[in-house]
Amino acid sequence: MRSGSETVAKAFGLVALAAFVVAFPSLASDPFVLSVGVVIVSYAVLATAWNFVGGFTGYISLGHAAYSGLGGYATGLLILRAEVNPWLALLLGGLVVAALAVPVGIAALRVRGASFVIVSIALVLVLLLVFQSWESVTGGSDGLRVPRPFGPEVLRPEQHQRFFYLHAVLLAVMLLCWWAIDRSRFGMGLKGIREDEDKARSLGVPTVRYKLAAFVISAFFTALGGGLYALWFGFLDPIFQFSILVGSNMVLMSLLGGVRSLFGPLVGAVVVGYATEFFKAQYGDTQMHLVAMGVLLAVVVLFLPDGVIPAVRGLVARLRPEQASIREVTQEELAEEVRR
């Protein structure tokens, strides 16, 4: 049976992935490699969070940096100004951003297609303006120093290791949520919206509520990702937090991996994150990054709009021995059924 062997393969892959994640910090040769690992899981967290709205509903948001940035700032400000416990601040920050996402979502989701993308970009630009100008609260262009959640006795490599696991746990929780939604009635409705919103609506899917729910879930997880990153990195600069590039990175990673697959954003994050860090280490920070990112995004949009995972799967299916029938049950099984 094909489906049986596939399940085994999938389970084996999952175990292998989990084992690699657990073992990575001890495999990493030095703290720098470990820190690159943290950056890549952080990318994976953000891309997977993005995919809750991008993958399910097909609404492509270029402005998810708004939620990661807000999550980071909310966490930092709660710790600094209200002296909340860092982990509680992280959670509260996520909830605050989710609450903020409700009115934004109501406004943004009224329009489809290009207008939605415009709104998402505008949100990032306006937040950049606000966080740069409102110096008394946000620290303005000088940035905001976020205190580390672990005491001074925890050294650098140890910090990286702990944050690597924290990010990995968050990622695992998100993947589980995505998987659960994917199989639920709610997920079915969302995918209906992606394929044809009007038809989905005429079939009784409460499109407005469903879209908003997916949007808020996505904003919540993105904010948690941003907050966790802020706790690890320890410094927030509005230019880098509310950057269109951060948002477009999430889109690029998800599209590259495949927005319809559970692990698509993760695969994309590993590829893009590794490539980015590699080029940074080799050639330093030049403007060619932008060009490379632009070209890669254009190539993905033009030639791989469904992502790598479906493309590879298609290739594997072609290499397999040809199946006799497109039906899932064979002729004999059908005949058996009829006889009974």
Partner 1 sequence: MSLVFQSLVLGVLMGGLYALLAAGLTLYFGVMRVVMIAHSAFLVLAAYLAWAFTVQTGLDPMLSLVVTVPLFFVLGVAVQRLLVARLRPATLTMMSVLLTFAVALAVEGTLGFVFTGTHRRIPLSYSGARLELFGASVALVKLIAFGLAVVTLVGLHVLLKVTRFGQALRATMQHREAARLLGVDTDRIAGFGFGLGLATAAVGGTALALDSTIYPSLHWHWIGPLMAIIVVGGLGSVAGAAIAALLLGVGQNLLQIPLGTTWAQTFFYAALFVTLILRPQGFFGGRLAQRF
Q: How many residues comprise the chain?
A: 340
Residue with Cβ nearer partner 1 (112 or 185) = 112
Nearer to partner 1, 62 or 96 (CB): 62
84 half-sphere exposure, CB direction, 13 A CA radius: 16
Residue with tokens 């009007």: 198
Q: What's the closest the beta carbon of residue 302 comes to partner 1, in angstroms?
A: 6
CB of 147 to partner 1, least distance (A): 29
CB of 238 to partner 1, least distance (A): 12
CB of 123 to partner 1, least distance (A): 8
Q: Which is nearer to partner 1, 58 or 139 (CB)?
A: 58
> In this structure, what DSSP letter does residue 140 have?
G
Q: For 165, how many CA atoms within 13 A lie in the half-sphere containing its CB? A: 10
Are 162 and 154 within 8 A, CB to CB?
yes
Alpha helices of 184-287 — where are they, by DSSP H?
185-195, 197-202, 207-233, 238-241, 244-257, 264-283
In the complex, the smallest distance separating the C-beta of residue 255 from partner 1, rounded to whole angstroms, is 8
Task: List residues binding partner 1 (CB under 8 A).
Answer: 58, 60, 62, 106-108, 110-115, 117-119, 121-123, 125-126, 129-130, 132-133, 244-245, 248, 251, 255, 286-298, 301-302, 305
Please state, as a whole number, how many other Cβ atoms lie within 10 Å of the Cβ of residue 212. 17
* 51 touches 256 (CB < 8 A): no
Residue 338 CB, shortest distance to partner 1, in Å, is: 39
Nearer to partner 1 among residue 91 and residue 117 (C-beta): 117
Residue among 244 and 262 whose Cβ is closer to partner 1: 244
In 3D space, the residue among 23, 333, 311 whose CA is nearest the CA of residue 165 turns out to be: 23
- CB nearer to partner 1: give 57 or 161: 57
CB contact set of 117 (below 8 Å; sequence gap of 6+): 60, 61, 62
Cα(282)–Cα(130) distance, rounded to whole angstroms? 35
Shortest Å, Cβ 245 to partner 1:
8
Q: Which uninterrupted H or E stretch holds 235?
A: strand 235-236
CB atoms near residue 6 (< 10 Å): 10
- Measured in whole angstroms, the distance separating CA 297 from the mean position of its chain's CA atoms is 16
Between 188 and 244, CB nearer to partner 1: 244
Query: Closest Cα to residue 249, out of 95, 42, 21, 52?
Result: 42
Q: Measure CA 76 to chain center.
A: 21
Nearer to partner 1, 110 or 327 (CB): 110
CB of 116 to partner 1, least distance (A): 9
